[in-house]
Amino acid sequence: MKAHIHVTLKKGVLDPQGKAIENALKTLGFNNVKSVRQGKFIEIDIDENDPKQAESQAKQMSNKLLANTVIENFHVDILENQ
Amino acid sequence: MKAHIHVTLKKGVLDPQGKAIENALKTLGFNNVKSVRQGKFIEIDIDENDPKQAESQAKQMSNKLLANTVIENFHVDILENQ
């Protein structure tokens, strides 16, 4: 079963990487870009058949390792048919 | 209008960062992790009301700047009501 985890910076936390992308896009002529935020996307293949269990495990992984919950939020999606 | 862009490594391209996460998860006791792939997630706020136009622009941005299309795939989602 596959878990898709998005880790994004919380609102109010400065995102220099996003800002750099925003400036680069404007330099390339994309002038209608209002803002850019960059996050991480992690796909984990879990050997588990119960979607509830898989989701619970993916949340534990995010809390323990993948996200720094002081400055980052995470969101877990479980793809049941894969 | 917001565009969500996922940039992921193509199949067959080595992903040392994903491998490092996989090993760290196993060290933490998550033994049913089969594989991990890491990608980038980019949220762009575009000043554009037409979803088709926004999607076309987000794809251009991905091709020109956000993804290295030699080794990476990208996927664009447009959130129409934001």
Task: Evaluate whether A71 touches A10 at the Cβ level (below 8 Å).
Answer: yes
Distance CA A42, CA A8 (A): 11
Model confidence band, residue B82 (pLDDT cutoffs 50, 70, 90):
low
Task: Evaluate whether B60 touches B67 at the Cβ level (below 8 Å).
Answer: no
- The string of pLDDT tens digits covering residues B17-36 is 999 999 999 999 999 999 99
Please compute the mean of the pLDDT values over residues B68-79 and round it to a whole number.
96
Which of B34, B43, B66 is closest, CB to CB, to A37?
B43
What CATH number did the domain enclosing B55 receive? 3.30.1280.10
Q: How many CB atoms lie within 10 A of CB B34?
A: 12
**What is the domain range of residue B49?**
2-79
Domain count for chain A: 1
CA distance B4 to chain A (A): 10
- The string of pLDDT tens digits covering residues A19-74 is 999 999 999 999 999 999 999 999 999 999 999 999 999 999 999 999 999 999 99
Classify B11 as helix, strand or coil.
coil
Q: Is the pLDDT of residue B53 over 80?
A: yes
